[in-house]
Structure 1
Amino acid sequence: MKCIDKLLSLLLVACLGLGLVSCGSESTDQTSYDLETTSYQYGITKVNNISDVSFYGSNLCVTDQDNFGIDQVDSQVAGAGGVFNLATGQCTYGQNLFGKMYPASTTKILTCLVAIEQADLDTQVTVSAHAADQTADSSVANLAEGDAMTLKDLLYGLMLRSGNDAAIAIAETIGGSEEGFAKLMNEKAAALGATHSHFVTPHGLHEDDHYTTVYDMYLIFQAAVQNETFLQIISTPSYDVSYTGADGQAKSQTWVSTNRYLNGKESAPAGFTVVGGKTGTTYEAGYCLVLYSYNDQNQPIISIVYNSDCTLNLYYLMNELLYTFGEAPS
């Protein structure tokens, strides 16, 4: 009987094996590895003991803590903040890092990055009536319907003057509409791991469904500062632009950065060199600043303050964060 049972077991295994082979022959996984191709070509092997694999997040500042270090600074003047040392991969300060925040015009960091990656900087952009039609209290680059300039010039109006008119003109040119461009923004944010954000507009004027987190904005900004064009733009204190009006006549103006470190209204702590960043202000978002700087050890630092109660406290807290948490570890 044991021999019969053993024979039946062997027959059952053989049948299962045939069944598995049969299932495999019915369909082909279109994303499967080609067995005729070496693993080296897929970048999943080692050569001279050095792996070619680059894991997502391996070069990022990672933390699972929402709040730390807040008792060492006057954190009560803001709703959220963070300090990230890109050289050491450390998040050295966290205040409501993963909480939902309204980004205001710091949104334009993502707008600028998407524009740089999606379009030729020499593209001619003509300002639409919709883009030029801004309310009196809106931050604008003073553009009029029919004004024409290159995308690169317009990006300076976006990032230095924080022009909402520039943001819409860029969005319409690249995305076909604000909604179309917002789709590109959300796709880029998701690709960078900023999965707790949702963007509705290219400028950041308040919408309930337009939000981010300090940590998500760090992820977006750290990708942006790796782009030389982006760095060139945000590090510029002022920009002289010449363009053509709707009547064909030459026009010009100067855009001055809203970043008080760049326009000379504020000074960073001793030992820190501010490269640039982006400001943002709405009633709902409060006063916001995303900053890129270097400490005295030449280590790149990203520091963020969201929802501060006034401009004075925004820069006061930013300086506290740099001085207390931006220094190189001893």
Structure 2
Amino acid sequence: MKCTNKKLSTKQKELRIRKIRKTVFLILFFLIALLLGTLALLLFSRMGTLREPMAYNRSLRMSGTVAKEGALLEEGIARNLCVGESNTPMDGIESREGEAAGLFDLQDKEILFSQNLHEKISPGNVNQLMAALTAYEALNPEDSVTIEPDDVVGRRQGTSCGLAAGNVVTVQQLLNAVLVYSADDACYALARAAAGDREAFVEQMNQKAQELGMTNTVFANVTGAEDENQYTTVYDLYLLFHQLLEYPDLIHAMGLTSYTMNSTKANGDLKQHLLDTDNPYMTGSLSVPKGVTVLGGKFMSAKEQYATALLVQNNYGDAFVLIVFRADSEETMNTRIWEMMEKVNS
């Protein structure tokens, strides 16, 4: 009997230990489940704002939107575009009479600020962005172009990157000269290579504008030289910038602070042309708020034409287009751009 009682006591101890282990396991299981559930709720509630800053990468291909005006584009296209009024005020950005301006959020597809969005403006050298886009789509960047006399620009005729008749240069180098230095002679060479002559190339530029929905834009020349028959709008320039986002090579070139163009002379000698950007935001001459990176664009401050069109990126990698035209001074224009940039990271 004593032996039997002792064996039963041992079994009871083993059962008790098993019960304790099961109880501890269940308690731990429920604690872990509760912790995971709480964490999941926190993440879900903060999903819209919980983002880590993304390191800037100029080669990043950004996409997601173009500007929208319902009356201009078909519904099937317009559904992916920004929505906004011709005049949209925003706290912290001062509106000035006569200015045409816009701040476009490509990530959330919004027009955050706008003024005279659809009024006609003279594009100036910003239309060289369309020239570069049109040439890029028509030509092979690795092809060579021989410069002809009609391509050459004298000192008082426009901006020259130093090309001379007989020089041989690649399409990519000409594109870089346009995007970095706003070189008129490079524009002429690209136009001839792509369409045979400048007039035919301008037709191609206007055709491309219509394809992009730029219905309030007409180009009259390749370089952006003043012409009463040439005009665009802030909204249409927004459409142009969005299309440029499809081509990382063009965005990269827009962001260069300088570029060395190599060409071959008629006698076979190599010639180098050092081109510094004409955009003070790329050189650092004009500062930007912390967390904002300028990817490129065009800047004009001459002959009483003050205009800036920029593609920028904030600390999270979101892209924005900032445009100011018809400012009454360079100081006013720069102030307006700064005000817009401060909204990019807010």
Common fold by TM > 0.5: yes
SS at match of 1:108: helix
Structure 1 residue corresponding to 2:324, chosen from 305, 309, 325: 305
- Number of residues of Structure 1 aligned to a counterpart in Structure 2: 272
Task: Give the corresponding residue for 2:82.
Answer: 61
- What's the CA shift for 1:281? 5.1
Cα distance in structure 1, aligned partners of 2:146 and 2:322: 35
Task: Give the corresponding residue for 1:98.
Answer: 118
Where do 1:1-330 residues align within 5 Å? 55-63=76-84, 65-69=85-89, 72-76=92-96, 79-136=99-156, 138-280=158-300, 283=303, 286-324=305-343, 326-327=344-345
TM score, norm. by length of structure 2: 0.74
Cα distance in structure 1, aligned partners of 2:267 and 2:123: 37
In structure 1, what residue type is equivalent to 2:251?
L
Cα distance in structure 2, aligned partners of 1:280 and 1:247: 37
Cα distance in structure 2, aligned partners of 1:298 and 1:133: 39
SS at match of 1:76: coil
Task: Give the corresponding residue for 2:31.
Answer: none
SS at match of 1:308: coil
* Cα deviation 1:8-61 (Å, max 9, x = unaligned): xxxxxxxxxxxxxxxxxxxxxxxxxxxxxxxxxxxxxxxxxxxxxx93122221
Q: 1:108 to 1:78 in 2, by over 3 A?
A: farther
TM score, norm. by length of structure 1: 0.77
SS at match of 2:77: coil
In structure 2, what residue type is equivalent to 1:320?
E
Tell me whether 267-276 or 311-320 shows the greater mean CA deviation.
311-320
Q: Does the CA contact (< 8 Å) of 1:78 and 1:305 recur in 2?
A: no
Cα distance in structure 2, aligned partners of 1:102 and 1:261: 22
Q: 1:319 to 1:78 in 2, by over 3 A?
A: farther
* Cα deviation 1:65-97 (Å, max 9, x = unaligned): 221227743443872110100000000010111
Unaligned 5+ segments in structure 2 are 1-74
Cα distance in structure 2, aligned partners of 1:263 and 1:96: 30
Q: Percent identity?
A: 29
Q: Does the CA contact (< 8 Å) of 1:206 and 1:282 recur in 2?
A: no
- What's the CA shift for 1:314? 2.6
Q: Does the CA contact (< 8 Å) of 1:134 and 1:165 recur in 2?
A: no
Task: Give the corresponding residue for 1:20.
Answer: none
Cα distance in structure 2, aligned partners of 1:255 and 1:195: 34
Unaligned 5+ segments in structure 1 are 1-53
Cα distance in structure 2, aligned partners of 1:77 and 1:238: 36
Q: 1:310 to 1:136 in 2, by over 3 A?
A: farther
Q: 1:239 to 1:296 in 2, by over 3 A?
A: same
Cα distance in structure 1, aligned partners of 2:301 and 2:212: 24
RMSD of the alignment, in Å?
Answer: 2.0
Task: Give the corresponding residue for 1:3.
Answer: none
Q: Does the CA contact (< 8 Å) of 2:301 and 2:330 recur in 1?
A: no
Task: Give the corresponding residue for 1:29.
Answer: none
